[in-house]
Structure 1
């Protein structure tokens, strides 16, 4: 009804402009437009355009005008888009942020939300509008996961690497999870200004077509559409929007996936504990907050994987954390959880993360069955109150400051809104909108932080950021959460080169922080899957296995000895420690452990979860009530795996019974180029070596070329670049029934040893 009322109101503003007389000769053109199968909103736009162009005023529409037989422009556009679904790249198009397999998600009978505009162009004053548009689209995608969202961008050449690199930067910076279609053809209806279309199918006229995304109206249209589609019982559950976030519901950008293998991926914001000599770095696109000292030694990590979940640091989940603020007297770290529209609070003493805003709906959930589900990996995400489409909702916060009244001042990236939140209760006291009011409220604090940049050259600042935001004439105000001053040192997040720069203002020198103690980071989230997922998604493992080998053995204890040769032309940054090795077993195996049965340490437990399991439901009681053993001071060491002749040795022991078993061994290898390549001046050669390591030979050459371009766009010495080579080993154990001795029902168990040699390319 809101949609119909809006169009009716617009009609009432058009008809009074229609006059009689000479203008009637032009009525036919207006009637043709109004009579064709275009959506009403688009028809009104055409009438307004014609009136302005002709310079005439028309009194009425002729009822005898000949109906236009021209095909509407947007129908041509949709037909063209439909023709591109079978190929990621064609003569006049190229899909970005999508893979050959993921493009198959387009269900031609589903509902589509198309956003078209000039995303690459960044005219002065329009960047805030672009950010706001992306936020609206992502919000709709989060709320309606069944809605297929994609974008359309016209460009001169779809093969232009400069356009491609610029678009990758936009995808990383705005964290765009939906595909974008680059097209060399010109469609006038979507070339001038961004527009939005909602389509029930790719053969039906658009249900919504506007120059702007009006969330309130579009929400009503989508609700009506979901009610129509929900009549089909098979789709009813999928269309039910509960605003719940499960892990499988998160969609991450695909275009910049190769940069996930760097130690940092879009390090966006940083804060400090000056008295404790600690830095809090938001590794945003890795969905974690890294705690380190000022020399780069990593002390701790908050967040394990993308999601929305409270708990210990190693199990809690964040979704693209941004700014943070450390409260020294409480030893709390307040974190902006941007994609979750939340504010989180980390108790640094207890190492526990909790949600300050919004209020969780499931805090009272407890009981034996809940604890069992938590142990099995089915723990529900933190409850979240439904976010309404209104101006008061905390949507995509980014910056965080502390007011003189001990309130938290939370701002979005485009500085359109400031939410004033009580630090203790998490209650939003007030919402301030408009640059003038925002400057009056927190302009002084922003100016004080940005003033630290006055001694840095403009050219150097331009290299640190893809784009700069300004608030009230303050240059580089968008960096307010990306820098922190500690005495004579200034630390700045470099989201272009994926690093943190340290500037010595007295010596007028700069250097990149070299992070150490990388084992605390343990396994990247894209390596570690919940154990129970291995039972149902074996095909996912097949696609990511570096080494697969099968053995036929007798039942009993099996000692597995793995020898791994690291990729040529590289060296380990740090020895691979036992705490970074992750093992899984499924099937007939009943136990998996390190070969020497080394006791776990507190550091090891905080660094990585090592799972051991048998036939799932046999040991639920043990899973629920198990307690971590107290460790003596003699055991408080973390041994590293052996490294002999440039090879890594990983061992484990498995107890098996007759049947089929599978053992998975995962580990992150932190590598960099050998010293002999550090002095090599050929940057493209270094990039090609790293690209070959990150993507095996079976990968298409075009993908490796894109990785090379991404590495070259970092604008840094690739000889010092630390990257992660994921190690994935899968062993299949076929345990046969041994011959039974006469007059005995027992099975004789044997001890076996298998040697696994792995060569990484």
Structure 2
């Protein structure tokens, strides 16, 4: 018989979130405890959250989930950034900041995410690594509850927590805007935290709000449609159609500006578990966290962050298929079918190649659209742990979890998200230089490097203006390309959902 292992106690003097005071395993005796070892950049960690939410609701009087945040990137070690991630992803369980990987090492964790299950007597009874299976966890929890009920070692009572979102409700007009798209028809903003699309003029005057502001997957008119954390967009000027990567719905949506309706055109609303290259009818094929879009002729190219691939939707046949990436999380150049990406989160094109912000390898990749169609690395280390903040050439460049990329005037603008900077890359030589941001978190307008951002994630150029989705500042910033002056766009008629009824012109 395997000896039972007592779960190591949790540190009490580290920062804790979503709770008035630190939780201890001693105090949680009599309850089933799940420790979720996560880091907020990791798409697989985000995919676990709905499972945890389901289990927390089902067993609220006998299960306690504790997120153990063991940071991958330097930027994720900052406690305020972790708090922002808790708000962004609506995490409602206690979160412990695992400074220096102490808890990770005590529990001999090897990968993100890992769920460690502790029984009501304080012993580790099992763990699941990767995205795991909700049913396996559900069965294990049920079994533990009935076993310990018989032994009289379970303590049924609901645990009350003080959530970050209750302490400081987010009532800003925009909430964690992920992407922005500037067009002749106006500025499209993925107001990700408010689950809606905002359309304004380039000066911030509101034209339309699309979505109720509540998360859901509902087609229909602008005021009845629902999204779930939408991200990247692409616009068909001629037909006045906006395409939206509806990330947490694992779907693509089409917004018809003339008819003012939203419809789902790809995905089923369920997350795909199939990472092998495949194809199918768009409405019947499951997707896995589509993050950004690029229109090219009759094709809509998709950065699929969840399966580490680039996909293509043929808008004439409505067939969706894997275009590049074998599904492994890595940085492998070469043939489309043999290539690999790591959480691609931004996409743009010059008409010859697609350019990808490949966030988990902190690199910019290029994917050929015309023969010979090859994948190459433009700049960055191509290594899952090769990140930093170094300007220079090609492989010597270090970025930190870049999420946004935009092609304009023979160059690539990069949102170097976790370095809080905007950089300029030559797509042919791989030369990378910082243009905006001094590397510190802040909201500071001004010129060039005398500016500050907070995890900028999306970029769009229109004429002589570059628009920046400055995600953790809940802001859209505007750069004049001629003077390199940054200003923060104001939206005088925009409110958070349910705060006030905004005026629609």
TM-score range, shorter chain: 0.5 to 0.7
Counterpart in 1 of 2:126? 208
CA distance in 1, matches of 2:313, 2:33: 37
Counterpart in 2 of 1:395? 288
Q: Does 1:335 align with 2:236?
A: no
CA RMSD, aligned part only? Answer: 4.4
The CA deviation at 1:143 is: 6.0
Counterpart in 2 of 1:76? 7
- CA 1:279–1:496 in structure 2 vs 1: closer, same or farther (change >3 Å)? same
Counterpart in 2 of 1:525? 497
8 Å CA contact 2:67, 2:94 repeated in 1: yes
Counterpart in 1 of 2:299? 407
Q: Does 1:509 align with 2:485?
A: yes
Counterpart in 1 of 2:36? 115
CA distance in 2, matches of 1:220, 1:343: 28
Counterpart in 2 of 1:271? 181
Q: Which of 295, 302, 307 is equivalent to 2:203?
A: 295
Counterpart in 2 of 1:449? 406
Q: Over residues 413-447 of structure 1, what are the superposed CA-to-partner deviations in whole Å (9 max), with x where a residue is unaligned? A: 47822232233565422364254346899882326
CA distance in 2, matches of 1:492, 1:464: 17
Q: Which of 431, 444, 464 is equivalent to 1:488?
A: 464
8 Å CA contact 2:275, 2:307 repeated in 1: no
Counterpart in 2 of 1:597? none
- CA 1:420–1:178 in structure 2 vs 1: closer, same or farther (change >3 Å)? farther
The CA deviation at 1:285 is: 1.0
Counterpart in 2 of 1:179? 94
The CA deviation at 1:407 is: 2.2
Q: Over residues 305-364 of structure 1, what are the superposed CA-to-partner deviations in whole Å (9 max), with x where a residue is unaligned? A: 2221222222222211111111223322111111221212212122222222334xxxxx
Q: Over residues 645-675 of structure 1, what are the superposed CA-to-partner deviations in whole Å (9 max), with x where a residue is unaligned? A: xxxxxxxxxxxxxxxxxxxxxxxxxxxxxxx
Q: Which of 111, 115, 140 is equivalent to 1:197?
A: 115
Q: Which of 291, 302, 312 is equivalent to 2:221?
A: 312
- CA 1:256–1:287 in structure 2 vs 1: closer, same or farther (change >3 Å)? farther
- CA 1:183–1:223 in structure 2 vs 1: closer, same or farther (change >3 Å)? closer
Q: Which of 138, 147, 165 is equivalent to 2:49?
A: 138
Q: Over residues 700-744 of structure 1, what are the superposed CA-to-partner deviations in whole Å (9 max), with x where a residue is unaligned? A: xxxxxxxxxxxxxxxxxxxxxxxxxxxxxxxxxxxxxxxxxxxxx
Structure 2: tracts of 5 or more residues without a match: 72-76, 148-161, 277-285, 342-346, 356-365, 367-404, 414-423, 426-431, 443-454
Q: Which of 60, 63, 68 is equivalent to 1:152?
A: 68
CA distance in 1, matches of 2:263, 2:28: 38
The CA deviation at 1:505 is: 1.4
Q: Superposition pairs for residues 51-70 of structure 1, below 5 Å?
A: none
Counterpart in 2 of 1:697? none
- CA 1:191–1:296 in structure 2 vs 1: closer, same or farther (change >3 Å)? farther
User: Secondary structure of 1:525's partner?
Assistant: coil
8 Å CA contact 2:290, 2:306 repeated in 1: no
CA distance in 2, matches of 1:482, 1:95: 30
8 Å CA contact 1:399, 1:480 repeated in 2: no
- CA 1:407–1:260 in structure 2 vs 1: closer, same or farther (change >3 Å)? same
Q: Does 1:326 align with 2:235?
A: yes
- CA 1:141–1:35 in structure 2 vs 1: closer, same or farther (change >3 Å)? closer
CA distance in 2, matches of 1:462, 1:415: 33
Counterpart in 2 of 1:428? 320
User: Secondary structure of 1:355's partner?
Assistant: strand
CA distance in 2, matches of 1:137, 1:340: 14
The CA deviation at 1:201 is: 3.9
CA distance in 1, matches of 2:20, 2:226: 26
CA distance in 2, matches of 1:205, 1:401: 50
- CA 1:181–1:463 in structure 2 vs 1: closer, same or farther (change >3 Å)? same
The CA deviation at 1:111 is: 5.2
8 Å CA contact 1:207, 1:221 repeated in 2: no
Q: Does 1:458 align with 2:434?
A: yes
Q: Superposition pairs for residues 524-673 of structure 1, below 5 Å?
A: 524-525=496-497, 527=499
Larger radius of gyration: 1
What is the TM-score with the length of structure 1 in the denominator? 0.42
The CA deviation at 1:172 is: 5.3
| More helix per residue | 1
Q: Over residues 352-403 of structure 1, what are the superposed CA-to-partner deviations in whole Å (9 max), with x where a residue is unaligned? A: 22222334xxxxxxxxxxxxxxxxxxxxxxxx4x545332642222111124
Counterpart in 2 of 1:417? 309
User: Secondary structure of 1:305's partner?
Assistant: coil
Q: Superposition pairs for residues 677-756 of structure 1, below 5 Å?
A: none
What is the TM-score with the length of structure 2 in the denominator? 0.61
Counterpart in 2 of 1:567? none
Counterpart in 1 of 2:189? 281
8 Å CA contact 2:119, 2:125 repeated in 1: no
8 Å CA contact 1:171, 1:253 repeated in 2: no
8 Å CA contact 1:346, 1:352 repeated in 2: yes
8 Å CA contact 1:356, 1:425 repeated in 2: no
CA distance in 1, matches of 2:219, 2:167: 26
The CA deviation at 1:168 is: 2.2
User: Secondary structure of 2:178's partner?
Assistant: strand
- CA 1:343–1:292 in structure 2 vs 1: closer, same or farther (change >3 Å)? same
CA distance in 2, matches of 1:261, 1:496: 13
Q: Over residues 445-496 of structure 1, what are the superposed CA-to-partner deviations in whole Å (9 max), with x where a residue is unaligned? A: 3268253432896262465989xxxxxxxxxxxx997111111111112224
CA distance in 2, matches of 1:427, 1:110: 48
The CA deviation at 1:269 is: 0.2
| More strand per residue | 2
